[in-house]
Structure 1
C-alpha cells in the first residue's frame, strides 16, 4: 500500500466529512442566527407569544436566539442595525411605532430577512409583516362574556386604538351582541402597552359604572376584576391559572405557525416580502379559544352550545368574522 501524503490525508478527511455532514461547514453553523427586538418586557402578553415561539425553535436546535427587551422607540433603529451588523440572518420585532426607521434598516441590509409586527404592507426585498389576527376566538370570547354578564354591561380596557387592537375589540363586541343585542360597552384606552396600575384604575372606574365583565386587553384589568369579585375575559394569553375564579375565557394567539413558516423560508433561501397575518387565524392553528377550565360548568349550557356551533361554523368557512379596524366606542 502506498504511503499517503499529507495532502492525500487531508483530501480523504474532507471527503469523509462531506459524506457525513453534507456540503458546507460544520453542523453548528447550520443553525440560523436569529435576533428579536421588543419595546416592552418579554412577559407582556403580545411579546411573550413571539418569545415563546422563538424559544421553541431554539430548544429544537434550529436557531441561535438573542433578544433585547424594553427597547425605546428612539433606540429601535440602532438596535436593529446592531443585530444586522452582527450577522443575524433573521430579525423579528414590532414596527408599529417605528415603521419608517425599521423599513429604512431593512433596505440597508437586503441580505437579512426581517419579520415585523406591522399595520403596513410588506416591502421588497426582505421586509415581511405579521399581526395577531385572532379576531375569530375574540368573537367567541365575546359571546361567552355576554352569556355570563348579569348586568349586561361590559368594560373594555385597551392599550392604544390601533388596528391590531381595534379589530379584536370589534370582534369581541360583535360576539357579545349576538348573545345580547342590548349589551352596553364602556371602552377606554390607557395610552400604554405595559402599565398594569393604570389599566387596573381604568377597570375600577368601569366597575363603578356597573360593568360586571371586563375585557382584559392589558395586564392589570384582571386584578381589578378579582379584587371586586367581577369576571374577566383574557386576550392573547391564558391567565386563568393565575385567576381561576375570575378569567372565564381567553382568545389565544399562537405565534408558532408564523415563526415556523418564516424560518422554513429563510433556511431555504426563499424568504420574500409577505404578509404572514393569515398564520394567526384558527385555520392555521395560530389562534384558538382557550379551554374553559374552571368555568366549564359555570357557563350556561346553552351559551356553550352556541359558542361550539359558531366555532364549527368558522372552521367550516360558513361564518367569517368581520375585520373592523376603526376605533371602538362606548355605547
Structure 2
C-alpha cells in the first residue's frame, strides 16, 4: 500500500487538517512503514519521479509506504512530524534541504530514522543523508573524456552551483580530465530541468572546441545528448535511455542505484540500527556502490572506447575500492569557466 498526501499546510488550521487527514485515511497496519516528502510532483519525469521510485523500492523490503508531494520549505518540519507521529519508522526528504527540519524534529522521535536523499550531512543519533560518490564517478568521466577527445578540450554542463554533490562531480571531472591532459571548461545553467538551456550551453562549449561533453542535470541532461548528436561529438549521460537517443554519441552513462542504497539502509533500520551521519556509497563500499557506468544492458562503454581506456577506467575503480586513489574536489575545482 502507498498512501498519497498532497496539500500545503499553514498554521494551526493546517496542523488540524493534517491530523484529521490521517484519522480519516490511516495507512494499513504494518510493522514497517516508510514515508517520502517531495519538493515537487512525482509526475515530473525527473527528480521527484526518482524520489517516488526510491520509496516504492522499499516495498519488497517489507515496508508500507506513503508520500507527500509539493512540500514547501516552511512546511517541512510539520510534515516530518506528522509521519513520525503516525509511527513511520523511516521518514525521508527528497533532497538535502530537508536536513535542517529533520534536526528540529528528530529529538522528539528517537526511534524514527530520518533520511535526506542526496544530502551530505547527518546528526546523531537518527538523522542521516545518503548519496553516491559523485567525485569517484566524476573522476572516471574526466579520464574517459580526456582519452576520447581529439581536440584535448572537454567540457561539463551542470546546475545548482555550490551544492556539494555537484561540486564533487564537476570538481572530480576537472581534476582527473586535467591530469589526463585535457583542458576543461564548465558552465552552469539555472534550471536542472531546462533541456533547451542545457543544449544551448553545450553548443556554446562545442563551438569553443570541446568535443566531449558531460554534466549532471535532471531532465535537462537530454539537451546535452541532443547537442552532441547534432554536432557529432561525444557525451556522457545519466541513463540508458540516453544511449538510445544517440548511440553513436553517448560513451557511457552514470546509472544510479538508489534502490540498493536505500534497501540496504532499510534492512538495517528494521534490524534496530539507526544512523546519524552521511553515508556515501562508492567503489569502496562494494557490493553496494551507489551506481555504475552503463552504456546499455550488455556493456559499460560504447564499443568505440578502446580496450586500453576501458582497462584504465576499470583499474581506477579498483584503486577507489582499495582506497589507494582518493579525489576530494573543492569549489575551486568545480568553478565555472576554464
Normalised by the length of structure 2, the TM-score is 0.76
Matched, 1:253 2:245: no
Larger Rg: 1
For the 8 Å contact 2:257–2:290, the answer to whether it is kept is yes
Which residue matches 1:79?
Answer: 79
Match of 1:193 in 2: 192
* Superposition map of 1:1-331 within 5 A: 29-42=29-42, 50-58=51-59, 60=60, 62-117=62-117, 119=119, 121-161=121-161, 162-179=163-180, 181=181, 183-218=182-217, 219=221, 220-235=223-238, 237-238=239-240, 239-278=242-281, 281=284, 283=286, 284-291=288-295, 293=299, 296-317=302-323, 319-327=324-332, 328-329=334-335, 330-331=337-338
Larger relative contact order (C-alpha < 8 A, sep ≥ 6)? 1
Distance 1:280 1:315 in 2: 5
1:156: Cα distance to partner? 1.0
CA distance in 2, matches of 1:57, 1:50: 12
Q: Which segments of 5 or more consecutive residues in structure 2 lack a partner in the other structure?
A: 1-27
CA 1:304–1:264 in 2, change beyond 3 Å: closer, same or farther?
A: closer
What secondary structure is seen at the aligned counterpart in 2 of 1:151?
A: coil
Kindly provide the CA deviation profile for residues 37-77 of structure 1, in whole angstroms up to 9, marking residues without a partner as x. Answer: 2224556666555544432331x261112223444434434
Write the distance in 2 (CA, Å) between the matches of 1:44 and 1:187: 26
* Cα distance, 1:158 vs structure 2: 1.0
Q: Tell me, yes or no, if the aligned pair for 1:113 and 1:266 is still in contact at 8 Å.
A: yes
Distance 2:283 2:207 in 1: 35
Give the paired residue count. Answer: 299
Q: TM (normalized to structure 1)?
A: 0.77
The Cα of 1:142 is off from its aligned counterpart by: 1.7
5+ long unaligned stretches in structure 1: 1-27
